[in-house]
Chain A
């Protein structure tokens, strides 16, 4: 329709690559939902925080975002653990609407702390490889996005191993399925909640390092991702890890194509409309089965 096949193919391919990083952002969100049954409104703000952390790591220590990935993931795991253990857990006392409000409060604090420190300017890292392209057949692919795709798959694989092969993973799955039963057999539920939240936050740190070479940072940048991530999570089925990855790829392609046809500002509407339609028509998601 109007565009030659190479351009369409390129848009789809780049959409898939971007979608993988969306999937990684959504992975953290869906994991937290699946286990803690909370919608973490602070997810976008935590992503913003991670992007600033990677930005500062580059500015202050000369650390390449890809080199900062592992230390930042560790740091953000601890941060997420503490936030859940010390703030969200005690303040919400297990009540659904309290959790919504507490995570909303957290997101307001983080976003505006970044605004107070860094002001509202958008900043970009000027890395030599940011604009590098890789040629694959007829299609030009962005190198940072290609790396992002690969790392996302690796992280998903690691998470799969963690969830199926380790005691912690088994405990997380037990808590997700039956909290009271898990507590009865001696699992420390508060600890598992915090670990899960920490893993979700660590996913964000990795996503931030993958985004930074090709994406700008600003105090509100997380908002651009958070509704996208919610859309993916709803689309893939709340709590479903595979759903998050597939949903991410799908949304990446939708965004890329609607940007091509409708321009960038109206292109965003496509994602929100998908979000509203899925919630209205099939709130359990396209891939998920849980109620």
Chain B
């Protein structure tokens, strides 16, 4: 990872700081914070799905784990927000490792992997909906306790900077992975698992590292979500919506690229808000457009252009 390669990420951070200084509209800030949360969750999916070719349909499991563990520690055990968020992220990573250890050891891949991850997310959703410590169906409120020491901010622009810093970190991790031995092995697994195994790549170890890292990033997005909205319930934290959006964003923005998830999240959220402004609030309309977009993107893979351009700008050796 050279200095030149990190320039676009630095540029993104500077841009986010400028936006937080000059934009005052709460609607716009809210839009941007939510987009950043999605982009972080999507970056997690991208590590495993984009680079590793393992398409998870259940990243809600990790998002919800990060959100619930962090919220429960703060609310039920009075833990400070910073260690609580850290534990949330760690719990998501451990869950990722545990699911991976079961699923990858059993040799599940492709459609089977997609299905089994979906089932894990659903089991967690039903459990969170039925147990006491999670607040059950009523959900869990984090008490308002403003202050940087509690990771709660009254103004949305502070959250914008927080989200941007986290996403920049996620992008740096992704970039570092891309340049590392693990990244190369992961891409080898995506392109041809048998060939990678024949060349001596430890397939199981590579996949396990990828899913743990991936779950940690998506878990961080979940913890940030809980910190921003101060409320979660089982359908938010473990709901299929986040599994679907974490997958759509990288695929639309460019799977297996550092900037793909952010670009995809911006496109998705832009479309969603745009249709609401233009046509009015018809439930489900924005998602219909997402669905059409997904099929079109698979049919005509022109969407890779922005990601490829970003890769080219970053330097030689664009994929």
Q: Evaluate contact between A115 and B283: CB separation under 8 angstroms.
A: yes
Q: Which of the four size classes fits the interface of chain B?
A: 35 or more
Given A269-B126, A275-B119, A276-B123, also A102-B295 (CB < 8 A): yes
Question: Which residues of A are found within 8 Å of B119, using beta-carbon distances?
Answer: 227, 272, 275-276, 279
Specify which chain B residues have a CB less than 8 angstroms from the CB of A273 in the assembled complex: 123
For the complex, is B51 an interface residue (Cβ under 8 Å from A)? no
Known: A227-B119, A272-B126. A219 touches B244 (CB 8 A): no
- Among residues of A, the one whose C-beta sits closest to the C-beta of B290 is A108
Q: How far is A223 from B57 in the complex, measured between Cα atoms in Å? A: 14
Q: What chain A residues lie within 8 Å of B299 (beta carbons)?
A: 90-91, 102
The answer to whether B115 touches A112 (Cβ under 8 A) is no
Whether B290 lies near A279 (C-beta < 8 A) is: no
Determine whether B86 belongs to the interface, using a CB cutoff of 8 Å to chain A: no
B207 to chain A, nearest CB (A): 15
A243-283 CB mask vs B (1 if < 8 Å, else 0) is: 00000000000000000000001101100110110011101
| B114 contacts A91, C-beta separation under 8 Å | no
Complex partner residue of B112 from A107, A109, A283, CB under 8 angstroms: A283
Q: Distance (Å) between the CB of B236 and the closest chain A CB?
A: 16
A106 at the interface (CB under 8 A from B): yes
CB neighbours (8 Å) of A234 from chain B are 115
10 pairs, CB–CB < 8 Å, chain A vs chain B: A38-B111, A97-B53, A105-B295, A106-B295, A115-B287, A116-B285, A120-B283, A219-B284, A273-B123, A276-B123
Q: Inside 8 A of B291's CB, which chain A residues have their CB?
A: 105-109, 112
Contacts of B247 in A (CB 8 A): 104
Are A279 and B115 CB-contacts (below 8 A) given A112-B284, A113-B284? yes
The 8 Å CB contact of B287, one of A38, A108, A223, is: A108
Report chain B residues within 8 Å CB of A120: 283
> What residues on A are CB-neighbors of B244 within 8 Å?
104, 108
Chain A proximity of B107: nearest CB distance (Å): 8
The CA of A76 and the CA of B116, in the complex, are separated in Å by: 29
B178 an interface residue at 8 Å Cβ cutoff?
Answer: no
- Whether A101 touches B110, Cβ cut-off 8 Å, given contacts A108-B287, A273-B123, is no
Chain B residue at minimum C-beta to C-beta distance from A103 = B295
Q: Which residue of A lies closest to B106 (CB)?
A: A280
Please tell me if the beta carbons of A101 and B251 are within 8 angstroms of each other in the complex. yes
Contacts of A98 in B (CB 8 A): 298
Q: Find the B residue at minimum CB distance from A231.
A: B119
Which residues of chain B are within 8 angstroms of A276 by Cβ–Cβ distance? Answer: 116, 119-120, 123
Give every chain A residue within 8 A of B294 (Cβ-Cβ). 101-102, 104-105, 108
Cross-interface CB contact of A112 among B106, B116, B285, cutoff 8 Å: B285
Q: Contacts of A283 on B, CB cut-off 8 Å?
A: 106-108, 112
B298/A105 in contact, CB under 8 A = yes
C-beta contact mask, B120-146 vs A, less than 8 Å → 1, else 0? Answer: 101100110110000000000000000
Interface: B282 (CB within 8 A) = yes
A116 touching B288, Cβ below 8 Å? yes
**B225 at the binding interface (Cβ < 8 Å):** no
Q: Which of A106, A107, A115, A265 contacts B284 (CB 8 A)?
A: A115
What's the minimum C-beta distance from B109 to chain A, rounded to whole angstroms? Answer: 9
A177 lies within 8 A of chain B by Cβ: no
Within 8 A of B (CB), among A210-233: 219, 223, 227, 230
B278: chain A residues within 8 A (beta carbon): none
Q: A265-B129, A276-B123 are in contact. List 15 more A-B contacts (CB 8 A).
A: A87-B295, A98-B298, A101-B55, A108-B244, A112-B284, A115-B283, A115-B287, A265-B126, A266-B126, A272-B122, A276-B120, A279-B112, A280-B103, A281-B106, A283-B108
Most chain B CB inside 10 Å of its own CB: which residue of A90, A98, A112, A227: A112
CA distance A100 to B53 in the complex (A): 13
B130 touches A265 (CB 8 A): yes
Query: Which A93-147 residues have C-beta < 8 A from chain B?
Result: 96-98, 100-102, 104-109, 111-116, 119-120
Give Cα distance in the complex from A106 to B240, angstroms: 15
Nearest CB of chain A from residue B249's CB, rounded to whole Å: 13
A69 at the interface (CB under 8 A from B): no
- Judge whether B106 and A92 touch: CB under 8 Å: no
